Amino acid sequence: MDKKQIPYKIYLSENELPREWYNLRADMQNKPAPLLDPATHKPITADALSTVFCDEAIRQELDDTTRFFKIPDIIRDFYKMYRPAPLIRAYCLEEKLGTPAKIYYKFEGNNTSGSHKLNSAIAQAYYAKMQGLKGVTTETGAGQWGTALSMACAYLGLDCKVYMVKVSYEQKPHRREVMKTYGATVTPSPSPDTVVGRKILAAHPGTSGSLGCAISEAVEVATNTDGYRYVLGSVLNQVMLHQSVIGLETKTALDKYGEKADIVIGCAGGGSNLGGLIAPFMGEKLRGEADYRFVAVEPASCPSLTRGRYAYDYCDTGMVCPLAKMYTLGSGFIPAPHHSGGLRYHGMNTTLSALYDQGLMEAVSVKQTEVFEAAVEFARVEGILPAPESSHAIKVAIDEALKCKETGEEKTIVFGLTGTGYFDMLAYGKYNDGLLTDYAPTDEEIEKGFAGMPNIE
């Protein structure tokens, strides 16, 4: 097919918006290990989770056999405000690199939350609303998830309490104001409002907070407040389920133009965007219908897949959440300062962890300065200013395209551009001024993180 016959941006019609989410676990022969009850170390029951999560969310979380879940009409209507998201052919980047490879990226940043997070936020808020709840609680680090949830809650008329990691609360006042504009209550974490928060404040006065701590606070408030439940923006399998719209749309768009991906690349924090992007492609691979290479890209400063351990671990600092078998650096691992707040989680979604363990997916870690270099190169030719998180995928997509330049291979590279970097200009400013540095934990620091893990086989 003539290069230019494929448009710059492939927009599906609203009719082509997926009607069902795809549950990749249903096609896995070796399922991800179940979540365990933190008290008994037995597989967790729906009942035990019901004070924390909404009922439908639990059903989706625990179901590893149903292949498709219908997307409710109200959620689908909400999706129509910003979806289908474009699959963009990176013509300008290809030309700049002089590569024979074809590069596509699925752009999830064209909405006010600035990222893919909205796909799951609206689903989780909807189920809370359907259950007759008053509101939801959550944590947010960089702020994308908190923003997305605030938007979803404003739309449905649901109360929204966000615990925002204190360092982000202070350094990202703009994010905070977006959430408040959408009617959310935003509290810096750790806060004196919760037992967990008070404990941490007493032990570490002046702490700038962590995602694990903010999770514990949000969970505590949800379980102790009538009519509230907790929602989470990544890591969980229900989130990956909702994010499958990314991959489903991507596949439909490629199929429409007779294109087949050779490599699918995504940045990996908790894993939901990566999982959502690769889901339908991985499904084909699992069913033996097609083959693809999958590459998870993580920051060198928080390398859960490439340097972590595959074991049961705590999901939060307060150890109140279920235990998950995943690639993890230990819930006590504190990643060095790094400007991709969305990739600073110590663990990885259990499904992706299982796939990686089974050799079905590759992983690579990259340094922050080379990520910003790729981001700027991309921005200058493709126009879009990418989020630092998303730029991890850009970096590896460029590397793969340059390999094709050497070998002359005309591979089709697809990557997920999860969001925009408008709220990351402090980091870009540092990069522009040559002040950005690289961090990677030492082996000792990695070992220290492992030390606090539970011992469960």
Structural Rg of the chain based on CA atoms: 20
Token couple for 207: 């702490």
Contact indicator for 272, 350 with CB cutoff of 8 Å: no
Find the part of the chain contacting a copy of itself (CB under 8 A) among 148-156, 226-234, 271-279, 334-342.
148-156
Q: Where do we find the tokens 């404040």?
A: 201
Using alpha carbons only, give the angle 449, 451, 452 rounded to the nearest 5 degrees.
85
**Residue 125 is inside which H or E element, if any?**
helix 118-130
In angstroms, give the least distance from the CB of 6 to a copy of itself: 10
Which of 169, 356 has the CB closer to a copy of itself?
A: 169
Is 419 strand, coil or helix?
Answer: strand
HEC readout, 131-149: CCCCEEEEEECCCHHHHHH
- Residue 423 sits in the site that holds a copy of itself (CB under 8 A): yes
Find the part of the chain contacting a copy of itself (CB under 8 A) among 150-158, 162-170, 212-220, 235-243.
150-158
- Residue 426 sits in the site that holds a copy of itself (CB under 8 A): yes
In angstroms, give the least distance from the CB of 376 to a copy of itself: 6
- Residue 257 sits in the site that holds a copy of itself (CB under 8 A): no
Of 74, 130, 154, 440, which lies in the binding site for a copy of itself, with binding defined by CB under 8 A? 154
Which of 138, 147 has the CB closer to a copy of itself?
A: 147
Is 24 strand, coil or helix?
Answer: helix
Helices 55-62 and 118-130 pack at an angle, to 10 degrees, of: 130
Find the part of the chain contacting a copy of itself (CB under 8 A) among 151-159, 249-257, 267-275, 329-337.
151-159
Strand bridging mode 309-313 / 412-417: unpaired
- Residue 74 sits in the site that holds a copy of itself (CB under 8 A): no
- Residue 326 sits in the site that holds a copy of itself (CB under 8 A): no
Of 21, 53, 105, 155, which lies in the binding site for a copy of itself, with binding defined by CB under 8 A? 155
In angstroms, give the least distance from the CB of 87 to a copy of itself: 13
Contact indicator for 37, 48 with CB cutoff of 8 Å: yes
- Residue 68 sits in the site that holds a copy of itself (CB under 8 A): no
CA distance 309 to 275: 19
In angstroms, give the least distance from the CB of 347 to a copy of itself: 30
Phi (first) and psi of residue 377, to 5 degrees: -60, -45
In angstroms, give the least distance from the CB of 433 to a copy of itself: 9
Which of 176, 325 has the CB closer to a copy of itself?
A: 176
What sign for the dihedral angle of Cα 162, 419, 27, 126? positive
Instruction: Give the x/- contact pattern for a copy of itself in 90-109, rule: CB under 8 A.
Output: --x-----------------
Of 59, 68, 82, 450, which lies in the binding site for a copy of itself, with binding defined by CB under 8 A? 82
Count CB-CB contacts under 10 A for residue 81: 12
- Residue 21 sits in the site that holds a copy of itself (CB under 8 A): no
Distances (CA, A) of 6 to 89, 196, 247, 253, 409: 8, 54, 19, 10, 19
DSSP H helices in 191-339: 195-203, 211-224, 237-242, 244-256, 272-286, 304-307
In angstroms, give the least distance from the CB of 267 to a copy of itself: 19
Contacts to a copy of itself from residues 375-414, by CB under 8 A: 376, 379-385
CA distance 185 to 183: 7
Is 388 strand, coil or helix?
Answer: helix
In angstroms, give the least distance from the CB of 1 to a copy of itself: 15
Of 432, 437, 447, 456, which lies in the binding site for a copy of itself, with binding defined by CB under 8 A? 432
Distances (CA, A) of 156 to 50, 72, 119, 399: 22, 14, 14, 43
Which of 204, 380 has the CB closer to a copy of itself?
A: 380
Distances (CA, A) of 137 to 143, 149, 161, 246, 249: 14, 9, 5, 25, 30
In angstroms, give the least distance from the CB of 131 to a copy of itself: 22
Which of 57, 121 has the CB closer to a copy of itself?
A: 121
In angstroms, give the least distance from the CB of 5 to a copy of itself: 11
Number of residues that bind a copy of itself (CB under 8 A): 44
- Residue 337 sits in the site that holds a copy of itself (CB under 8 A): no
Find the part of the chain contacting a copy of itself (CB under 8 A) among 77-85, 240-248, 265-273, 399-407.
77-85
Residues that bind a copy of itself (CB under 8 A): 7-9, 11, 13-14, 77, 80-82, 92, 110-112, 114, 151, 154-155, 173-175, 177-178, 180-183, 376, 379-385, 420, 422-423, 425-426, 428-429, 431-432
